[in-house]
Chain A
Amino acid sequence: MSLSMNSNIELPTARVQTQTASGMVAMMVGIGLLVALVSMPWWAHQGTIRSVVELCCYIAIAQMWNLMAGYGGLVSVGQQAFMGVAAYAMFALAQNHGIDPFVAVGLCLLVPALLAVPTYALLHRLDGPYFAIGTWVVAEVFRLIVTNMPYLNGGAGMSLRVMTQYSAHERAIGITILCAILLLVTVGGSYWLLRSRYGLALTAMRDNPVAAASQGVNVKKLRFLIFIAGAVGTGLVGAIYFMTQLRITPESAFSSNWAMIAIFIVMIGGIGKIEGVIIGALIYFFAERIFGPYGSTYLVVLGLLTLVIAIYARGGVWGLLSKVVNIPLFPTRRTLVSRDEK
């Protein structure tokens, strides 16, 4: 290094600031909401808990898609593959092998992790847009294999009868704790990752993979790890969601509806931002409750809205908001602050 050459020049004293006041407030609110979530079984109705569990699943699956598409450049339309295999693995462990369902939720994550490795090894050979359809084929392959497996009761699906060993209250406690863990792992984990030194690499990769690689970022390895992380996170969503449903069929487990939900949430909220996922999930959650009864008309509007956003408003709602006010809730930007300014 040629630092010695410049050693007579005094460097301005500065430090890197990554936290903001709005970020601190948001973190406090977030922790408060997690505590409220876990305490729900003692004050909320069963129906409310179900809705909140659903919302948590939306947030988590969208954040996993956001991590892959927004940072890794891995646009998938087949993440339901990992949702389905994890959920089925959980059902098989609990129903066929007598393992406690809440323990099975953790164990079953090995399956998406292990399947993601060969899946990525094959699919990363496909160019950009073809990667997306490749993920869809993989989801179809898993669905067809499950449909033909007597061990998993084939196309008829399975019921999680072992859950009857727990009372409704006990189940609610278990599921809200799982949801809190789900959010901590997917949203909290992404937040932590983006603020760590890997976050810099990820952001660089998002902005320009070639330039990032020239700066020493191992883009290939990072993409692989993101794909595995995305598969495991999505798998956890699947296991928790179908635990609340108590029933699973190949059609529901591997439904491309989940890809649609994740894509819609991330695109409308704002890709590449955690705030975008939260906003998008809330919009989708309420839109479905308000406009869901309109059925296919509602889906036509949803599809066209996704189209319009992809063309004209790539930053989504959070992108538009950020142009007006700068209050990051999950700040990941590094700002250089001079010591004198303090």
Chain B
Amino acid sequence: MRWLDALIQGVLLGGLYAQYALGMALMFGVMRLVNLTHGDLVVLLALIGVSLAVSWGLGPLALVFVLVPIAVAIGYVLQRAILNNVVSQDPLPSIIATFGLSIALQNAMMQVWSADTRSIPGFGIEQASWQIGPIYVGVLPVIVLVVATLLTAAIDALLRFSRFGRAIRASAADVEAAALTGVNPKAVYAWATAIAVGILGFAGLFQGLRSTVAPFDGPAQLIYAFEAVIIGGMGSIWGAFVGSMVLGITQAIGFRINPGFGILAGHLVFLAVLAIRPQGIFGRS
């Protein structure tokens, strides 16, 4: 029963990681770009959520409608102002640019919100749970998992069936050929990043509701997103979702074995995947 509980909690934790990983998989799939501020943006959005909840008394549902548009705007501006300048075959400029931005962002958040850990008040939803036999299942983690699944399905459908999705896939396959057929890659990139960061609006809200956030927490979230993407298979949307589940379950089981081992267990599974199946579960070799 102890291990079944770990498995369930792991899947629920995976729901949160899927929200981090989805945007990263999308951005890498489209631009072969990694945004090192990915985790810092989760923290930033969560902290904005904390301030809005405290000063305007917004509840979780209202926060969704405020945070997600803010996140979309941040993503769009980030791509237009910065990332479009560093998209290239050479990974160096994008890594360095976003690494610098990450440090700036962390320290700026530190000045605005101080180093305290904070969380978004959920008006009781964060404590509610269902009892199924001897196992307690939190209401909030289930909502997180459902939202993550819906978001993954929505992005997948968007890529498959919409006109915009076709433009994204064309740009990912061959950006010059796509440009020749009338796709504007810079605009496609900007909207892809806007969607990727927009998803972090949900992630930030749920991170803030489920646990706590502090200005320097971002790198850990970045690493979890990255591990989920690699475990699942680079650039695959459902791969990122499955990779998040694997990571969440591994961490939950690791924590049951020894509290000092949870995070490490996740890292070790990531390294094992690299050793055994470097293209990831869903990747094509």
CB within 8 Å of B: which residues of A?
69, 73, 75, 77, 122-123, 125-134, 136-138, 140-141, 144-145, 147-148, 256, 259-260, 263-264, 267, 271, 296-297, 299-311, 314
Please judge, given known A-B contacts A127-B32, A145-B264, A148-B260, whether A300 and B107 are in contact too, CB under 8 Å.
yes
**Pair A311/B275 contact, Cβ less than 8 Å:** no
Q: Is B271 a contact partner of A141 (Cβ separation < 8 A)? A: yes
Contact across chains for A132 and B274 when beta carbons are under 8 A apart: no
Interface hit among B152-160, B188-196, B219-227: B219-227
Binary interface encoding of chain B residues 241-285 relative to chain A, with 1 for a CB under 8 A from any of its CBs, else 0: 000000000000000001011011001101100110010000000
Chain B min CB distance to A12 (Å): 37
From A122, A129, A134, A314, give the contact of B94 (CB < 8 A): A129
- Verify B227–A302 contact, CB threshold 8 A: no
Q: Is B101 a contact of A132 with CB atoms below 8 Å? A: no
What chain A residues lie within 8 Å of B103 (beta carbons)?
A: 260, 299-300, 302-303, 306
Known: A69-B92, A144-B260. A126 touches B230 (CB 8 A): yes
Q: CA of A308 to CA of B92 in the docked complex: distance in angstroms?
A: 13
CB distance from A120 to the nearest CB of B (A): 12
Interchain CB contact under 8 A, A296 and B234: no
Inter-chain contacts of B65 with A (CB < 8 A): none
Beta-carbon contact of A141 and B91 below 8 Å: no
Question: Could you tell me if B102 and A303 are in contact, using CB atoms closer than 8 angstroms?
Answer: yes
Q: How far does the alpha carbon of A306 sit from the alpha carbon of B138 in the complex, in Å?
A: 43
- In angstroms, Cα B268 to Cα A137, docked, is 10
Residues of chain B lying within 8 A (CB to CB) of residue A77: 36, 95, 99
What residues of chain A lie closer than 8 Å to B226, measured between beta carbons?
Answer: 130, 133, 137
Give the docked Cα–Cα distance between A314 and B92 (Å): 10
Cβ of A303 and Cβ of B34 under 8 Å apart?
A: no
Interface presence of B104 (CB below 8 A): yes
Contacts of B99 in A (CB 8 A): 77, 259-260, 263, 306
Query: Known interface pairs A296-B107, A307-B82. Does A122 touch B95 (Cβ–Cβ under 8 Å)?
Result: no
Closest residue on chain A to residue B97 by CB atoms: A310
Q: How far apart are the CA atoms of A133 and B108 in the complex, in Å?
A: 23
Chain A residues closer than 8 Å to B223, beta-carbon distance:
133, 136-137, 140
Q: How far is the CA of A221 from the CA of B280 in the complex (A)?
A: 25
By size class, the interface of chain B is 35 or more
Query: A260-B103, A299-B103, A303-B100 are contacts. A132–B91 as well, Cβ < 8 Å?
Result: yes
A300-B108, A306-B103 given as contacts; is B91 within 8 A of A144 (CB)? no
Contacts of A145 in B (CB 8 A): 264
Contact between A304 and B100, CB atoms less than 8 A apart: yes
List 7 A-B pairs, Cβ < 8 Å.
A77-B95, A148-B260, A299-B103, A300-B107, A306-B99, A306-B103, A309-B96
Cα distance A126–B95 in the bound complex, in angstroms: 14
Number of interchain pairs (Cβ within 8 Å): 143
Complex Cα distance, B102 from A306, in Å, reads 10
For residue B111, CB closer than 8 A to chain A, the reply is: yes
CB atoms of B82 and A303 under 8 A apart: no
Interface of B is mostly: helix
Closest Cβ of chain B to A287, distance in Å, is 14
Query: A299-B107, A303-B103 known; A125 and B34 CB under 8 Å?
Result: no
Structural contact, A141 and B264, CB atoms closer than 8 A: yes
A305 CA to B264 CA in the complex, in Å?
34
Known A-B contacts A129-B95, A314-B93; A144 and B104 likewise in contact (beta carbons under 8 Å): no
Across the interface, do A122 and B34 meet the contact criterion of CB distance under 8 Å? no
Given contacts A140-B267, A141-B271, contact A310 B100 (CB under 8 A): yes
Q: In the bound complex, how far is the Cα of B264 from the Cα of A271, in angstroms?
A: 34
Give Cα A133 to B223, complex, Å.
Answer: 7
Contact A128 B86 (CB under 8 A): no
The CA-CA distance from A301 to B105 in the complex, in Å, is 10
A256 and B95 CA atoms in complex are apart in Å by 15
- Specify which chain B residues have a CB less than 8 angstroms from the CB of A305 in the assembled complex: 100
B33 contact set on A, CB distance < 8 A:
129
Which 3 A-B pairs give the minimum distances between C-beta atoms?
A: A306-B100, A303-B104, A128-B91
- CB of A122 within 8 A of CB of B104, answer no
Measured in the bound complex, the distance between the Cα atoms of B111 and A128 in whole Å is 33
B43, chain A: closest CB distance, angstroms: 15
CB closest chain-A residue, reference B111? A296
Looking at B34, B86, B93, B99, the one whose CB has the most chain A CB atoms below 10 A away is B99
Asked if residues B104 and A148 are in contact (CB atoms below 8 Å), the reply is: no
Residues of B within 8 A of A131 (CB): 91
Compute how far the CA of A311 lies from the CA of B32 in the bound complex, rounded to whole angstroms. Answer: 17
Kindly state the separation between the CA atoms of A140 and B268 in the bound complex, as whole angstroms.
Answer: 11
Residues B1-49 near A (CB distance < 8 A) = 28, 32-34, 36
A125 to B280 CA separation, bound complex (whole angstroms): 11
CB distance from B219 to the nearest CB of A (A): 7
B85 close to chain A: CB less than 8 A: yes
A304-B100, A310-B100 known; A75-B92 Cβ under 8 A: yes
Decide: B264 and A122 in contact? CB cutoff 8 A: no
**In the complex the two chains form, is A267's CB within 8 Å of B274's CB?**
no
Most central of A122, A145, A263, A311 by chain B CB within 10 Å: A311
Q: How far apart are the CA atoms of A256 and B216 in the complex, in Å?
A: 12
Contact of A128 among B32, B104, B108, B230 (CB under 8 A): B32
